[in-house]
Structure 1
Amino acid sequence: MSAGDGNSECSLAHIKKKFRVFHKKFTIDSIYGQYTIEAVDILAHSFRITKGERSVANISKKYLKAADTYTVAITDDENQAFILALVIVINQVL
């Protein structure tokens, strides 16, 4: 994940998928710290984002006829735009 600033580009985060047979898991090294995104259920409809041992966001995916809908609950002390960008990236990967 990167952000452009005029002609220069800086890296915000590196996302790595951990190999799991039934359980989706990603690790993120970012300018905001180290995060883990882990599926709560086997179908990967719900995720938890943690920073260290602390849960910073919960994501629930609901399927509608026209499109998928997400509910994202983020703690107040986290960069909410960054967490939402992580959700978008994970959606595209899965």
Structure 2
Amino acid sequence: MAYVPHGYIITNGVITVDEIHELREKRQALLIEDASLSGENERISELIEFIRNNKYCTLRYSDTLVRKIIQNVSVYDDHFVICFKSRIEMEV
């Protein structure tokens, strides 16, 4: 049996370059997705920590809290939409 370098695939006895490139692209996409999810998890942890530290002060308006959780507010003639940084939208 011939030596096959680590990471190579043999299909019917032939190493296919297309399969190697496809797997490398999938691996890269997964690494990017993992980094993105890691950043989102860090952001969620920061928000949870902030809310826990300020749970007794939530009855008052806090500009800091608003800026931490709200991405933007869109105002229309008959309603407005609040877009949170967690990608949740609320129509009022």
* Alignment TM class, shorter chain as reference: under 0.3
Structure 1 or 2: larger helix share? 2
TM-score, normalised to structure 2, is 0.27
Bigger CA radius of gyration: 2
